[in-house]
Structure 1
Amino acid sequence: MLHTVRSRPWTCRVCLQRLQRSNAERTFATAVAADQQQASVDFAAASKFAKQRDDETLRRVFDSRPFWREFSNRRANSSKRTGIVQNQYLSNPEGFRQFAQTSLQKCQRIVSKVLGASTLEDYKSMAKDLDRLSDLLCRVIDLSDFVRGNHPDPRIQEAATQAYALMFEYMNILNTTTGLHDQLKKAAATPEVTSSWTEGEKMVAQILIKDFSNSAIHMPPKDRQRFVNLSNDISQLGSDFANGAEPARPHVVLSKSSVQGLDPVVVHQLQRWNSVPIPTWGMEPRLALRSMHNEQARREVYMATRTSSKRQIHRLEELLSKRAELAKLSGYTTYAHMALSDKMAKTPEAVSNFLTALIDNNRVPVQEELSKLQRIKGSSPLQPWDHAYYVQKRVLDYAMARRSRELSRVPEFFSLGTVMQGLSRLWNRLYGLRLVPQETLPGETWNSDVRRLDVVDESGQHIAVIYCDLFTRPNKSPNPAHFTLRCAREISADEIAESAAMDPPSHPNDGMATAMIPGSNTLRQLPTIALVCDFPEPPVSGNGPPTLLSEHSVRTLFHEMGHAVHSVLGQTPLQSISGTRCSTDFAELPSVLMESFATAPEVLSLYARHWESDQPLSENMMQSMAADRAANGNIYGAVENEAQILMALVDQAYHALAAGNGSKRSIDSTGIYHQVFSTHCSLPDPQDSNPLTSWQGFFGHLYGYGATYYSYIFDRAIANKIWQDVFQAGKLSIDRQAGERYKNEVLRWGGGRNGWHCVAGVLGDANASNANGRLAEGGEEAMREVGRWGLGRDGI
């Protein structure tokens, strides 16, 4: 339920320290005045440093190890130490326990206040009180969860895990505390209370009431216990399913003659006498499907790699059965109805409208792609096991005929430092923001290679902190990710006084970044973000090329920074709706849209420069890149899009199953899977094997994204439309007016505005005369309209 600074003192920490030293009678207004005076002095000092110097420093801290060592060591001998991400508690393992216990005590005081509420004023403050309760829980849970997965010290990992477990257990207790639910429901049903609430407070109240409902708090004790048992079973089954994917057969044994075309090095590694066992899991079968000339051999590998073990299929069917029962117990027709009730889609019928419209939109380009491959194959029909092979042949033919030496040099223009420069310059052009590297205090980062960037607006106001953990190291996850370590929210005067009265006095944001909202007496906790990637390190000596990124890696970095800009600009007064805390089927919109900027010619001209000569990427090279993307998109983009649509359709079909009446329902997940594919797949669905293929056992996202797998392609369709209509397919990719429009209609709201209102607002009056004019209403027809927009030809 109740379910992210200090190189220059741009935060109000100096003010808060003064507040803590002063006596209890000192007023909040006096403290604010002191802070504003200090801020003006700091900004005057900061303004002496030209933006150009910050821009150049940004490039060098990522591209030059010697420069980074010098930059990062400036404060290494400082007598002042801090905790991880400047959290005052997290300077040692024991600090995690103290952090959790102190936060827990603050939570308990809020719970007592809410449970004891009796006056109108008590109820008027309830949405804010519960939002703060949620913030206190998330402060520990989000940061501890990140640290335990990313910190290299096992002692810190263990301490963070214990802090996480303590607060998570307490959160589960709160989610079943009927008094909290009853008090919030009473507040939400009192007109004198709700008339005083902002739209954000109303939305937070609705979110929390829904979370209570999802915890079965309204059920009689017997049903509630059944709900808890089912939830625990689903959690265990889901974890087992997501982590237990395994094929029915470990190998497909082929003769050496039938694997011709496969890389001889791979054949030599796999060969056993005159046979070649091809594993059915990992990279080898993918290479085999792309390269083996023998169609029957490809068929055997394809069928085996898409047939799951019976144990895994049983896990899935148990999971689906228990989810259906859980939904019925909660008063929903199906699990899909339950999962979608608070999403933009609202209903399974609306999702079906979107996906079927998308299939129709995608059908012609799919047929065009398959026709090209069919002509290469000849007279016999193209089969599913042919696709990767003939795509590879066509890609190689294209590469031999058209790829130039010039195109192979493109990564030389994408050093990590220049790409970070480009992101800062783009944000500055679109939103008036820039990224400023900052030295860190001893203890502030979890690894010495982590760079800290402060996000600064046009007035010099510090508005966010981003920690960039972008380089590879042993045991680090290879998956790129964005983490909100702390959300934005407004901090009340009462909280500041509470922190000052603690023994010893504490910082109201645990020492992490804060700032005064300009022109007000309001203190804000700033979003603190971590970006994690797995790029190779630049050379230690500084000689040779820095970290050079492929075009794919550039798009990945832009994608993650799309999440970051949502966190940075979505600074709402309440943390429950700030930044990326929005509907699941809206959360990927900013990140998917950001990918389009990465290689737009206008944006490339901002940053793509040769790592050594500093020469800009030529127009010819930009055109070659665009031609390469278009060619690959025309070869396989639509078929890849169709694969994602089919997966979303399977997800919907599974979670649209109703629970049986009085007896356990038998679910045939393999039959449902083949029904969807035989109805919608453009390539023939092989149903003549024994047993039938059962690829659904490898579809781990069925657990984490149950009934919502459509979300990514839904956001992709919306992002394509915004890119075309607002940014004019890249012609306005660095236009401030377009950026402000997108910021004001989408980003700044976080999750505090209905997603349909955001989409309708940013697309504007040009769409009012047709079906788009009803976008703000949402519903089934709006979902169908988004499906008609399509996914483009790049592929997913």
Structure 2
Amino acid sequence: MIKAVARPRQWQRWICSSCLVQRAAPLLQRRQFATSPKSASLDSQQPFLPASHAPLSREDDHCLRSVFDHPKYWEEFSQITGGPVNAGLFRNAFLKEPKGFLTFARVSLKKARGIVDKVLAASSVHEYRAIVRDLDRLSDILCRVLDMADFVRVTHPDRHTQRMASNAWDMVYQYMNELNTMTGLHDQLATAMDNPDVTRVWSEEEKAVAEVLKLDFTKSAVNLPQKYRNRFVELSSKISTVGSDFVQEMAPEQPVVVLPSSEFTGMDPLQARALTRNGKLHLPTLSGQAALALRTVHDANARKLIYYASRTASRRSVSMLENLMRLRAELADLSGFESYGHLALRDRMMAGSPEAVEQFLRALADSIRPKAKEEMAELLAEKQKTYPRATELDPWDKDYYSELVRRPLRLTGRQGDLVSHYFSLGVVMQGLSRLFTHLYGIRLIPRQPLVGETWHPDVRRLDVISDTDGHVAVLYCDLFYRADKSPNPAHFTVRCSREITESEMAEVWQQTQEDPEMAMFASPAMAANDGMSFSQQGNTIKQLPTIALVCDFPQPSSQGDQPALLTFFQLETLFHEMGHAIHSILARTSFQTVSGTRCATDLAELPSTLMEYFAADPTVLAQFARHHETDEPLPYRMVAQKVRQAKRFEASDTENQIILAMLDQALHSSRAAQPKFDSTEIFRGIQKTYSSAPVDPPGTRWQGFFGHLSGYGSTYYSYLFDRVLAQRVWEVVFASGHGGGALKRENGERLKENLLKWGGGRDPWRCLSEVLQEERLADGGEKAMPYTQACMNGASTDRRDKMPGPEWLEH
């Protein structure tokens, strides 16, 4: 009941697959996880408009660029004034020291138990009308601890703080699982939902929340005898532990490949030299250097040895994965579902069932196969230039010959990637703010952090300001590389949007007077928000969504002579992550259960994938892209060439994603409960059936590196699904960028009003129906899924077929 089932991970951070570069499997770069969408701007003949050099209209616009591009400016800007009073992490008054997490957890559990007692005692129509709001508040109280603790335990640089956050997480998570099997709460909610005098006063959002809570109870075996409910709690805890261990401890069977350095001809000499000792090159199996070697080393035998090592997870990793699958299968069986896939896809997903997902994936595979085979034929032809008698590609050939074909498309100079000189981080943040102003009337404003508010001096706080609603969100940007920080780009919702009632504020204010563990606050509104930011319009008070973005971009020069310069790939990454953030920002719902990205998982990637179209649109880039030294506008041909290079083998990359999505479905099917369950054989069988590329050789066990199986169990298909839908939204709503469609306010308002603002508070098919003005999508289900299949040919079309000619690229 309390868990946010719309999340791709149960009580874990939001790291989408197109954002995540697996620490354990660096060969899976982001382009393989979700290839960037086809930008129709590249297919058009519209001119590229140069960036405006008019004086900046807002001082904040200049400040936004400077706080990211110039360390000395940031150092002066972030100088603390007004005394050294510790405001607490995220300005949460409980988190002024590490042990404050435990205090925060204990105080929150006291609040939660009080709400549980209130719900169980409800008897009048008036009390039943408040049950949804009470249960949503109960969820929010637990989320405030769980979400913040989860972020801190994986991001904070201090180990002691990590441990305290983890202990708080464990404490609250255990209680949450107990609530999910509490029959009294389920019965009270059912009574309320069955009473027309109660439901007739509920809003559409309130009814949606009630349905979500009801489904959560159903999935939690609430109708079973107590011993089975106890087993459900036990299984949930085990699944959380095993899943976390699988992701954190996955390892290769062979950690290092050691070969004579002479066999690495073709690899970057500087990197090769750094790994060489006594004539032997020691290559870490799971590293960027290994991925580079597979792309560049000429010796086929050396590539073969590296490939085997990098595609073979340890037996322990595979054992943990299969244990996780068995535990999930038992949990599904306990809850009355045929498989874990059926449990996870029930109702809250647009696809609705594993059968619908399988149909979607097979149709997409059929549509992409001819092009994928053509691409493999191109690679074989490239191999035959050196080995005329070759009749097939080996698995370790694909990356190498793909690199040879792509190489002439590169655009580099003596200073490296030339495009990056037009994408300083500060300029890109400027561009995002300007884009959001055009589309939604919101902008990003740098704010001075208070003492203790951030977890590292590199973190920048931005306030999101609306032209109509004022302060609507808080955004913390931890974007620079640190050695002790995960390299995985990620979007975290630390706190969701929610409306706070006057009675709630009075209740918490009273608690501050009676509970010695409560922090002291200046007002009831501050107390109800734990000291964090809120907004007030009339008598309505809302807690502001608080979001953290984490990336690993290069640090700017400490001398201040060069800012952090982003590659086009990193630009796309930041736009993608901001797509998640804008969903959290604009969906300022009254109930946190359906706030922002807490929607159907196979809708949650749509806003982020859609943002990648804007990253490649010439009119959008013209708003900000300029050389960090000369201030000259970006020649758009550079971006067009980057897109060509990235998309050169798009079909085979997409096919690989289809195979991974099919693997996810198969491992979460009823097969996981069978005595001879073997994930390696399942993976190889899928590859043999659907892959146009060479399949993994016997002895490899790559699935042991597939960390997404933990967090996105049976929903990995969402990235392919949303890629199809995002392209359709780009074409229909934003006119594929034609005529400045990517910058028109009416287009942004159409997307916001019909889809983004609802979060999970409205049926996702209805949202999509209204934004696309497609009535046949409104009811979802069997009528709607064929629509996505009809869009597939467009989504899988190779963009090179529609690239503009060389004359246009000179604009």
TM-score class normalised by the smaller sequence: 0.7 to 0.9
1:583 aligns to 2:589 (yes or no): no
Flag the 1:601–1:350 CA change in 2: closer, same or farther, 3 A: same
1:180 maps to: 185
CA deviations 1:400-444 (Å, max 9, x no partner) are xx7677994322221111111111110000011111122233332
How many residues align? The count is: 729
- TM-score normalized with structure 2 length: 0.84
- CA distance in 1 between counterparts of 2:418 and 2:434 reads 23
1:66 aligns to 2:72 (yes or no): yes
- CA distance in 1 between counterparts of 2:183 and 2:664 reads 33
The answer (yes or no) to whether the contact 2:409–2:644 under 8 Å persists in 1 is no
Structure 1 residue runs of 5 or longer lacking an equivalent are 4-49
Shift of 1:343: 1.2
Q: Counterpart of 2:157 in 1: which secondary structure? A: coil
- CA distance in 2 between counterparts of 1:541 and 1:406 reads 18
- CA distance in 1 between counterparts of 2:406 and 2:187 reads 62
What are the within-5 Å matches in structure 2 for residues 272-291 of structure 1?
280-291=285-296
1:653 aligns to 2:688 (yes or no): no
Q: 1:343 aligns with which of 342, 349, 360?
A: 349
- CA distance in 2 between counterparts of 1:697 and 1:159 reads 30
- CA distance in 1 between counterparts of 2:623 and 2:445 reads 17
2:444 maps to: 435
1:719 aligns to 2:726 (yes or no): yes
Q: Which amino acid aligns with 1:603?
A: V
2:541 maps to: 523
Q: 1:457 aligns with which of 466, 472, 491?
A: 466
1:547 aligns to 2:547 (yes or no): no
- CA distance in 1 between counterparts of 2:254 and 2:162 reads 37
Q: 2:679 aligns with which of 664, 669, 673?
A: 669
Q: 1:360 aligns with which of 333, 348, 366?
A: 366
CA deviations 1:211-266 (Å, max 9, x no partner) are 22333222113333443444444344433433443444456666777554445566
CA deviations 1:645-665 (Å, max 9, x no partner) are 1111111122222576xxx62
- CA distance in 2 between counterparts of 1:423 and 1:263 reads 35
Flag the 1:249–1:485 CA change in 2: closer, same or farther, 3 A: closer
Q: Counterpart of 2:551 in 1: which secondary structure? A: strand
What are the within-5 Å matches in structure 2 for residues 674-685 of structure 1?
674-685=684-695
Q: Counterpart of 1:152 in 2: which secondary structure? A: coil
2:640 maps to: 626
1:2 maps to: 2
Q: Which amino acid aligns with 2:623?
A: L
Q: Which amino acid aligns with 2:588?
A: Q
- CA distance in 1 between counterparts of 2:165 and 2:268 reads 46
Q: 1:496 aligns with which of 495, 505, 519?
A: 505
1:475 maps to: 484
Q: Decide which moves more: 146-155 or 260-269.
A: 260-269
- CA distance in 2 between counterparts of 1:678 and 1:458 reads 55
Shift of 1:275: 7.3
1:218 maps to: 223
1:485 aligns to 2:494 (yes or no): yes
What are the within-5 Å matches in structure 2 for residues 336-415 of structure 1?
336-341=341-346, 342-378=348-384, 379-380=389-390, 381-399=392-410, 408-415=417-424
- CA distance in 1 between counterparts of 2:256 and 2:414 reads 39
Shift of 1:594: 1.0
The answer (yes or no) to whether the contact 1:353–1:784 under 8 Å persists in 2 is no
Q: Which amino acid aligns with 2:532?
A: M
CA deviations 1:444-485 (Å, max 9, x no partner) are 222233222111111361111112222233412222222212
Q: Counterpart of 2:623 in 1: which secondary structure? A: helix
Q: Counterpart of 2:368 in 1: which secondary structure? A: helix
1:535 maps to: 553
Q: From the CA coordinates, give the structure whose radius of gyration is larger.
A: 1
Pairwise CA RMSD of aligned residues? 2.9
Q: 1:614 aligns with which of 628, 631, 637?
A: 631
Shift of 1:791: 4.5
1:640 aligns to 2:647 (yes or no): no
Shift of 1:782: 4.4
The answer (yes or no) to whether the contact 1:82–1:88 under 8 Å persists in 2 is yes
Shift of 1:344: 1.2
- CA distance in 2 between counterparts of 1:439 and 1:270 reads 43
- CA distance in 2 between counterparts of 1:537 and 1:263 reads 23
- CA distance in 2 between counterparts of 1:252 and 1:317 reads 27
Structure 2 residue runs of 5 or longer lacking an equivalent are 4-55, 514-519, 801-811
The answer (yes or no) to whether the contact 1:327–1:334 under 8 Å persists in 2 is yes
- CA distance in 2 between counterparts of 1:311 and 1:146 reads 27
2:715 maps to: 708
CA deviations 1:97-145 (Å, max 9, x no partner) are 4433332222222111101111111111100000011111111221232
Q: Which amino acid aligns with 1:781?
A: P
- CA distance in 2 between counterparts of 1:324 and 1:121 reads 41
Q: Counterpart of 1:607 in 2: which secondary structure? A: coil
Flag the 1:164–1:314 CA change in 2: closer, same or farther, 3 A: closer
Q: Decide which moves more: 363-372 or 120-129.
A: 363-372
The answer (yes or no) to whether the contact 1:716–1:791 under 8 Å persists in 2 is no
- CA distance in 2 between counterparts of 1:745 and 1:510 reads 32
- CA distance in 2 between counterparts of 1:290 and 1:229 reads 46
1:603 maps to: 620
What are the within-5 Å matches in structure 2 for residues 407-426 of structure 1?
408-426=417-435
The answer (yes or no) to whether the contact 1:63–1:547 under 8 Å persists in 2 is yes
2:534 maps to: 514
Flag the 1:124–1:92 CA change in 2: closer, same or farther, 3 A: same
- CA distance in 2 between counterparts of 1:134 and 1:491 reads 13
- CA distance in 1 between counterparts of 2:150 and 2:331 reads 28
1:316 maps to: 321
1:21 maps to: none
Q: Which amino acid aligns with 2:409?
A: Y
- CA distance in 2 between counterparts of 1:425 and 1:556 reads 18
The answer (yes or no) to whether the contact 2:417–2:567 under 8 Å persists in 1 is no
Flag the 1:606–1:495 CA change in 2: closer, same or farther, 3 A: same
Shift of 1:783: 5.0
Q: 2:610 aligns with which of 570, 593, 609?
A: 593
1:118 maps to: 123
Q: Which amino acid aligns with 1:110?
A: I
- CA distance in 2 between counterparts of 1:339 and 1:530 reads 27
Flag the 1:134–1:251 CA change in 2: closer, same or farther, 3 A: closer
1:37 maps to: none
- CA distance in 2 between counterparts of 1:642 and 1:436 reads 41
- CA distance in 1 between counterparts of 2:569 and 2:194 reads 51
Shift of 1:150: 3.1
Q: Using CA pairs under 8 Å that are at least 6 residues apart, name the structure with larger relative contact order, 1 or 2.
A: 2
The answer (yes or no) to whether the contact 2:777–2:783 under 8 Å persists in 1 is no
1:107 aligns to 2:107 (yes or no): no
- CA distance in 2 between counterparts of 1:516 and 1:452 reads 21
Q: Which amino acid aligns with 1:630?
A: R
Q: How many percent of aligned residue pairs carry the same amino acid? A: 47
Flag the 1:101–1:787 CA change in 2: closer, same or farther, 3 A: same
- CA distance in 2 between counterparts of 1:150 and 1:285 reads 26
